[in-house]
Structure 1
Amino acid sequence: MKPVIDIAVEAEAWESFEDPATLAETVIVQTISQSGAKLAAEAEISIVFCDDAFIADLNRKWRGVDKPTNVLSFPSGGPIAVTPVLGDIVIAYETTEREAQEAGKPFRDHVAHLIAHGFLHLIGYDHLAAADAEAMEALERSVLARLGIDDPYQEPLASVEDGLAPVKGPLTSVKE
């Protein structure tokens, strides 16, 4: 089952992002497959690619948080098997780009992760409780692995050339 995906680009920065519709469809179809979600026959979602100002306004209005974030999801509510409109996913360019750079991962891979994450929220997943977060993250890892994308929760290893020890976890300087 492939839902209808409406794409809206609300920020110029996204104009150079190659084929967001195909990426969204690929990620969402894989997420449906991996999650086993049963959607309404005419299921529809919207994805808005915006800037930090746009998402900060939404974050302030709907969550009471006065700052930008990478992704917001707005589930429409109701059982997904009979609800045709699943909801909206909103992704901010600047925050997403900064996070990708800081983590040393390709921007497109990070966007794919945020699409999967946002879609899981639309179909009822959450990460407020530790067990729910673990289940959601495991599903995200599985979806992305099937798409050839590295584990988004794997911390990058430090580079010896940068004078840092190759360790997992907080990076520390090598002491000689």
Structure 2
Amino acid sequence: MARVQVQVFDEFLVSVEAGWLTSVAETALCVEECEQEGLISVVIADDETVSGLNIDHRGLETTTDVLSFSNVHSGTYYGTDSRDAGVFDFVLPPGHQSGLGEVIISLPQAERQAEEVGHSLLNEVAALVAHGIFHLLGYDHEVESDAVVMQTKEIDARDAMRKNGLID
């Protein structure tokens, strides 16, 4: 299974624990039965960071909850200029595997969404981690039939997280 590396911006260390995030990500990967080796990076960031990445890499000037940057699957660029989201090559040191990619979550946006739907911040973050990981694994929700498959995976991941005591 892929290794999980977690980074939490300092201002959010009291809200989300790195060990918990690692367990959440590993649970989502186990649901998928992913055998791919390498690294998945999960970052808990602020609105400004995620918005900047959304503009730069997707061409969307809006705050979003989660972004996935896959090293395997290219994304869609929605901006008005003519570039493609999949044209960025990541240069790694010799001997390092690229892994699956990176999931970046805006914790303030996750807080707003959790309050809006009436569940805990941890439940919302767990759902976003799973959603981001399934994007890294090639799932998408642009077409209804694909969305159903991805949503089923997310439900299975949340059920496994509940069973493991990671969320309520």
Which of the five TM-score ranges fits, normalised by the shorter chain?
A: 0.7 to 0.9
Query: Aligned partner of 1:35: which letter?
Result: E
1:134 aligns with 2:131: no
Unaligned runs of 5+ in 1: 151-176
- Is the 2:4–2:25 contact (alpha carbons within 8 Å) kept by the matching residues of 1? no
Give the match's secondary structure for 2:25.
helix
Query: Aligned partner of 2:23: which letter?
Result: T
1:35 aligns with 2:32: yes
Deviation per CA, 1:59-93: give whole Å up to 9, x if none: 00111111110000000117xxxx65211110001
Give the match's secondary structure for 1:66.
coil
**How many angstroms apart in 2 are the aligned matches of 1:18 and 1:28?**
13
Deviation per CA, 1:24-62: give whole Å up to 9, x if none: 22222222222222212xx11111111101100000011
1:6 aligns with 2:5: yes
**How many angstroms apart in 1 are the aligned matches of 2:10 and 2:55?**
19
- Is the 1:73–1:121 contact (alpha carbons within 8 Å) kept by the matching residues of 2? yes
Q: Which residue of 2 aligns with 1:59?
A: 54
In the TM superposition, 1:1-176 aligns within 5 A as 1=1, 3-10=2-9, 12=11, 14-19=12-17, 21-40=18-37, 43-77=38-72, 84-148=98-162, 149=167
**How many angstroms apart in 2 are the aligned matches of 1:71 and 1:122?**
12
Query: Aligned partner of 1:113: which letter?
Result: A
**How many angstroms apart in 2 are the aligned matches of 1:140 and 1:48?**
19
Unaligned runs of 5+ in 2: 74-96
**How many angstroms apart in 1 are the aligned matches of 2:9 and 2:14?**
13
Of structures 1 and 2, the one scoring higher in RCO (CA 8 A, sep 6+) is: 2
Decide which structure has the larger Cα Rg and report it. Answer: 1
Give the match's secondary structure for 2:100.
strand
Q: TM-score, normalised on structure 2? A: 0.77
Query: Aligned partner of 1:99: which letter?
Result: Q
Query: Aligned partner of 2:13: which letter?
Result: E
Runs of 4+ off more than 4 Å:
none
Q: TM-score, normalised on structure 1? A: 0.74
**Number of residue equivalences:** 141
Larger deviation, residues 27-36 vs 121-130: 27-36
What's the CA shift for 1:128? 1.0
